[in-house]
């Protein structure tokens, strides 16, 4: 039996175990998926130990995505993002690192029949999720505007992303009315019923993806829906980052419906 898992601290709340287990079961792959919660200072020993023990693959979550990036051979996209959320352990050679949050963004839009190529995209946030979204959307052909509370962080990210421009949150007033795509990659809306984007900027030409997945229906998505926009819950990004990881590990098409159903139930 192959052993997979997720490394984080804390990780008890993770919904990846039911989602990935449903994928393995549906594809009749003899595998188990468990949680690992090393102390923050132990992450290097944890990755070495996983390789030595023959662990087949790992997801990586807060606070380890940047640390693990330094410990594996990152693929070119993960290297640009500077963070790894998926590790594969080949039989020969070093552990391989990937960032599937990027595919989580693009595959969420594609699954909802939203085109990215040639469109104007606004990414709110310039942390880990914002970096993944900005590179993913630019690589898929969008013109990307990055708006972040700390404007220097947006500017620094925009300087790395092809053709991207940056501003503070006040730049949303100019960018959102003409945009086709909007991603909330901040944590705003998670703890309280707040939104990073004023409702009056939202319109029916927008497709809005909220990376926040608890609650499932954020204030941003409620207000976007009221404005006639297409809305995509963070659950989809979570699903497709997991789907992409499953496909990297197994070389099989992931059973999207089975994984989606398990995720939806786990988030209830
Ligand atoms: P992070 O690296 O800590 O970045 C946090 C971002 O949120 C920064 O841009 C930060 O701006 C901004 N922010 C925080 N509080 C704010 C506030 N009160 N007002 C305005 N901006 C604020 O976190 P992350 O890893 O990118 O995660 C961001 C969110 O995405 C989290 O809710 C996380 O759960 C979610 N996420 C979802 C998925 C998924 O699969 N659905 C995947 C990854 C992440 P500053 O730079 O100014 O601090």
Please report the domains of the chain, with CATH numbers, ordered by start residue: 2-99+239-267 (3.40.50.10860), 102-232 (3.40.50.720)
Rounded Cα gap, residues 181 and 195, in angstroms: 16
The CA 126 to ligand 1 mean position distance, Å, reads 8
Rounded Cα gap, residues 124 and 185, in angstroms: 5
CB contact at 8 A, 103 and 238 = no
Q: What tens-digit pLDDT sequence spans the chain (268 residues)?
A: 999 999 999 999 999 999 999 999 999 999 999 999 999 999 999 999 999 999 999 999 999 999 999 999 999 999 999 999 999 999 899 999 999 999 999 999 999 999 999 999 999 999 999 999 999 999 999 999 999 999 999 999 999 999 999 999 999 999 999 999 999 999 999 999 999 999 999 999 999 999 999 999 999 999 999 999 999 999 999 999 999 999 999 999 999 999 999 999 999 8
Among 59, 103, 129, name the best residue to mutate to test ligand 1's pocket (greatest count of ligand atoms within 8 A of Cβ): 129
69: left (phi over 0), alpha (psi -120 to 50) or beta: alpha
pTM tops 0.85: yes
Whether omega for the bond prior to residue 192 falls within 30 degrees of 0, making it cis, is no
Rounded Cα gap, residues 154 and 148, in angstroms: 6
């Amino acid at each position: 039996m192959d052993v997979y898992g997720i490394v984080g601290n804390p990780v008890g709340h993770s919904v990846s175990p039911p989602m990935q287990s449903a994928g393995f079961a549906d594809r009749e792959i003899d595998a188990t998926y468990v949680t690992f919660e090393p102390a923050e200072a132990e992450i290097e020993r944890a990755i070495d130990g996983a390789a030595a023990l023959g662990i087949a693959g790992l997801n990586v979550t807060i606070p380890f995505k940047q640390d693990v990036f330094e410990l594996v051979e990152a693929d070119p996209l993960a290297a640009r993002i500077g963070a790894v959320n998926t590790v594969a352990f080949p039989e020969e050679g070093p552990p391989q690192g990937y960032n599937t949050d990027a595919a989580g963004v693009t595959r969420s839009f594609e699954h909802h029949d939203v085109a990215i190529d040639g469109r104007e995209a606004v990414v709110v946030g310039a942390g880990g999720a914002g970096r993944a979204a900005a590179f993913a959307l630019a690589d898929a052909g969008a013109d990307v505007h990055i708006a972040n509370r700390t404007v220097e962080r947006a500017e620094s990210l925009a300087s790395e992303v092809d053709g991207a421009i940056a501003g503070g949150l006040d730049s949303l007033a100019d960018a959102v009315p003409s945009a086709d795509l909007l991603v909330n990659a901040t944590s705003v809306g998670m703890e309280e019923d707040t939104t990073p984007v004023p409702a009056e900027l939202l319109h029916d030409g927008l497709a809005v993806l909220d990376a926040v997945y608890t609650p499932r229906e954020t204030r941003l998505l409620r207000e976007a829906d009221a404005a006639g926009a297409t809305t995509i819950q963070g659950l989809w990004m979570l699903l497709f980052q997991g789907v992409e990881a499953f496909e990297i590990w197994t070389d099989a098409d992931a059973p999207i419906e089975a994984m989606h159903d398990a995720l939806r139930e786990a988030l209830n």
